[in-house]
């Protein structure tokens, strides 16, 4: 990265840029690195792109009863039961049309989620902010730029074996905290996303993701550094990127969490 780009990032509060230390590329190069490399070598030899890894066949799975129990959902609740049987197109349509909690009245549009629907990594945040609400994509504001930076530091990129979504699909007005009723109404959407993706690892970012998935009020600090399980899927707790922007010293802890996540997924 050029000194100029580093200065830009510094201005945005996103510096220092995170760089992977130690042995290079345990996970293999990301597409961005490949593009960079191919750009560098354009004048010498044609770029050789690595073939993508074999894809898992798409799966439509029935709801898992345990999954429902863990999130304190009641399958007798017709709405939740219906959502937990949906395929991707049905779920996207249902989220876009949802008026269950009232937030849809004040937001611009729903923000479903973005990325690889068969990703190994599922990142869960809290709720869309102003920029996400305007663009219909999660984590595209300043916190999102930090998240992209953090992902790049461990050789990952948005959309490449990574899926990103939020607990809430609608922006709470003025970015206030989600209300318990709103979380309860939106949780079936999140659980169905999780069930359809079947990731190898969930990264729960911030207390609302943790509360929705682990059903605990415990602090992020006390839950970090351990491999939790959400219905058998390994889950790692870390700070929310927006929190990190306000608490720069904790970036080092989030870096530890990401390294821990990378080691854990490599060991699976």
Distances in whole angstroms, Cα of residue 94 to Cα of each of 82, 170, 260? 10, 13, 35
**Contact string (CB under 6 A) for ligand URA, positions 156-185, x = contact:** ----------x-------------------
Q: Which of these ranges, 52-60, 69-77, 78-86, 127-135, lies near ligand URA under the rule CB under 6 A?
A: 127-135
CB of 132 to ligand URA, least distance (A): 4
116 binds ligand URA (CB under 6 A): no
**Closer by beta carbon to ligand URA, 115 or else 138:** 138
Which one among 116, 120, 132, 182 touches ligand URA, defined by CB under 6 A? 132
157 DSSP assignment: B
Which one among 30, 113, 115, 129 touches ligand URA, defined by CB under 6 A? 129
- Residue 226 belongs to what H/E stretch? none
**Closer by beta carbon to ligand URA, 68 or else 152:** 152
Which one among 125, 155, 172, 199 touches ligand URA, defined by CB under 6 A? 125
128 binds ligand URA (CB under 6 A): yes
- Residue 62 belongs to what H/E stretch? none
Distance, C-alpha 232 to centroid of its chain: 18
Contacts of 46 (CB under 8 A, 6+ apart): none
Q: Which of 223, 199, 200 is nearest to 210 (CA)?
A: 223
110 binds ligand URA (CB under 6 A): no
3 state SS for 187-223: HHHHHHHHHHHCCCEEEEECHHHHHHHHCCCCCHHHH
Q: Which of these ranges, 136-144, 150-158, 190-198, 249-257, lies near ligand URA under the rule CB under 6 A?
A: 136-144
Q: In what order do the strands lie in the sheet with 162-166?
A: 114-115, 162-166, 121-125, 201-205, 233-238, 228-230
**Closer by beta carbon to ligand URA, 166 or else 238:** 166
Q: Which of 213, 210, 205 is nearest to 245 (CA)?
A: 205
CB of 35 to ligand URA, least distance (A): 25
CB of 14 to ligand URA, least distance (A): 14
What is the torsion angle, in degrees rounded to the nearest 10, for the CA atoms of residue 192, residue 27, residue 208 and residue 136? Answer: -70
Which one among 116, 126, 148, 257 touches ligand URA, defined by CB under 6 A? 126
Phi/psi at 237 (5° precision): -100, 135
Which one among 107, 143, 254, 258 touches ligand URA, defined by CB under 6 A? 143
Residues that bind ligand URA (CB under 6 A): 125-129, 132, 138-139, 141, 143-144, 166, 242
């Amino acid at each position: 990265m050029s000194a100029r780009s580093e200065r830009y990032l510094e201005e945005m509060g996103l510096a220092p840029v995170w760089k992977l230390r130690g042995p290079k590329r345990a996970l293999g190069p990301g597409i961005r690195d490949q593009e960079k490399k191919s750009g560098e070598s354009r004048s010498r030899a044609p770029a050789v792109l690595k073939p993508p890894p074999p894809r898992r066949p798409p799966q439509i799975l029935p709801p898992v009863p345990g999954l429902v129990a863990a999130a304190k959902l009641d399958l007798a609740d017709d709405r939740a039961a219906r959502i937990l049987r949906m395929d991707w197109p049905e779920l996207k349509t249902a989220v876009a049309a949802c008026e269950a909690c009232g937030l849809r009245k004040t937001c611009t549009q729903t923000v479903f989620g973005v990325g690889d629907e068969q990703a190994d990594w599922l990142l869960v945040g809290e709720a869309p902010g102003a920029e996400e609400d305007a663009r219909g994509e999660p984590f595209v504001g300043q916190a999102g730029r930090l998240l992209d930076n953090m992902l790049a530091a461990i050789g990952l990129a948005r959309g490449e074996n990574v899926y990103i979504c939020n607990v809430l699909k609608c922006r709470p007005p003025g970015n206030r905290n989600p209300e318990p009723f709103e979380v309860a109404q939106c949780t079936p959407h999140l659980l169905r996303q999780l069930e359809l993706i079947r990731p190898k690892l969930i990264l729960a970012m911030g207390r609302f993701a943790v509360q929705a998935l682990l059903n605990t009020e415990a602090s992020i600090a006390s839950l970090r550094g351990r491999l939790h399980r959400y219905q058998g899927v390994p889950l790692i707790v870390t700070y929310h990127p927006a929190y990190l922007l306000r608490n720069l010293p904790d970036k080092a802890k989030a870096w530890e969490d990401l390294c821990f996540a990378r080691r854990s997924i490599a060991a699976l």
